[in-house]
């Protein structure tokens, strides 16, 4: 069964450093997402991406964050200058469609755990 893969599974970084989290969505999916989950808390939407541009972003997704689809397969989340509160599990997801009955089923990756020291 097709799956979304994320790397790294765990990254430890120093505060102020830049981090890039990578995702390979399912190949025929058109919509891509990043979510994060601070330990024990809710899963928060960060950003959605379609047709090589951001389609929606949350208030969490400030100038510190950026997303990119550098080639036909990867989808990356960059955090420019990490803060302690960025420590969380980051989930990538993809879907074939949006707003169409049943087409907006999200397939999630296993997540990348980011620890900022």
Q: Which residues bind another protein (CB under 8 A)?
A: 33, 35, 41-45, 48, 55-56, 91, 93, 98-99, 101-102, 104-111
The Cβ of residue 41 has, within 10 Å, a number of other Cβ atoms equal to 9
Rounded least distance, CB 16 to another protein, Å: 28
Closest CB 115 distance from another protein, rounded Å = 15
3-state secondary structure 60-112: CCCCCEEEECCCCCCEEEEECCCCHHHCEEEEEEEECCCCCCCCCCCEECCCE
The residue among 75 and 91 lying less far from another protein, judged by its C-beta, is: 91
Residues 75 and 47 sit within 8 Å (Cβ to Cβ) = no
CB of residue 92 vs another protein: minimum separation in angstroms? 9
Question: Given the complex with another protein, which of 42 and 62 has the nearer CB atom?
Answer: 42
């Amino acid at each position: 069964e097709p799956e979304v893969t994320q790397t790294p599974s765990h990254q430890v970084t120093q505060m102020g450093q830049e981090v890039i989290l990578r995702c390979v969505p399912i190949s025929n999916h058109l919509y891509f997402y990043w979510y994060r989950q601070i330990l024990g808390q809710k899963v928060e939407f960060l950003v959605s991406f379609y047709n090589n541009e951001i389609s929606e972003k949350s208030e969490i997704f400030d100038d510190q964050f950026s997303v990119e689809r550098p080639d036909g397969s990867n989808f990356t989340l960059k955090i420019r200058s990490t803060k302690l509160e960025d420590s969380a599990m980051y989930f990538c997801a993809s879907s074939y469609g949006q707003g169409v009955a049943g087409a907006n089923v999200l397939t999630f990756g296993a997540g990348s755990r980011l620890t900022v020291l």
